[in-house]
Amino acid sequence: MTATSERPRTRLFDRITDPFSERTRDRIVRAEDKVRAAVQHELDAVSRSVRTRAVQIRPSAIAFAAAALLTALGVALLAFAGVVALAQVVPLWLSALLVGAALVLLAAGAAAWGRAMLPAGPSLIPVPPSTHPAEEQVHPWAD
C-alpha cells in the first residue's frame, strides 16, 4: 500500500476535487461518444461503399468468371488436340510431354510478363470528403 492510500482523504480535498472530477468524467464520456460516433460513421460509410461497389460489379464479375471457365476449357481442348496431332508423328506419351512442357513454358512467360507490368507503387484510392459533424471539431475536448 502506498502512503496516499493509507491516509483518509480530507473533506476539504473532496470539496475541491469533486466538481472537477465530475466535469472531467462528463467530458471524457462526451469525447468517447464523439469518437465512437465518428468511428461508427466511417464504418458505415465503408460498408455502404463496399456494398454499392459489389452490386455495381456483380454482372461483370459473373461474366468474367464465365469467360475464364470457357477459356480454360478451350485451352484444355486445344492442348488435347495438340497431343492427338503430335501423336501421329511421335509416341502418345512423348506428345503429351511436349505439349505439357510447352504450356508450362507459356504460362511462365505470361507470369513473368505480368510481374514486369505491375505498377511500381501501391495504388491509392481517393477518399470522398465526409460531412460528419464530428469532423468539424478541432479538438475532441472542445465544447
- The H or E element spanning position 103 is helix 92-116
Binned at pLDDT 50, 70 and 90, residue 1 comes out as: very low
pTM comes to 0.45
Binned at pLDDT 50, 70 and 90, residue 117 comes out as: confident
User: Mind listing the pLDDT tens digit for each residue in 68-104?
Assistant: 999 999 999 999 999 999 999 999 889 999 998 998 9
Those residues with Cβ within 8 angstroms of residue 85's Cβ, 6 or more apart along the chain or in another chain: 95
Query: CA-to-CA distance for 95 and 5, rounded, in angstroms?
Result: 88
Residue tagged 465512437 (cell numbers) = 36
Could you tell me which residue, 138 or 105, shows the higher pLDDT?
Answer: 105
User: Mind listing the pLDDT tens digit for each residue in 44-63?
Assistant: 988 888 888 888 888 888 89
Those residues with Cβ within 8 angstroms of residue 42's Cβ, 6 or more apart along the chain or in another chain: 130, 132
Q: Look at 34-48, 56-70, 125-139 and tell me which has the smallest mean pLDDT.
A: 125-139
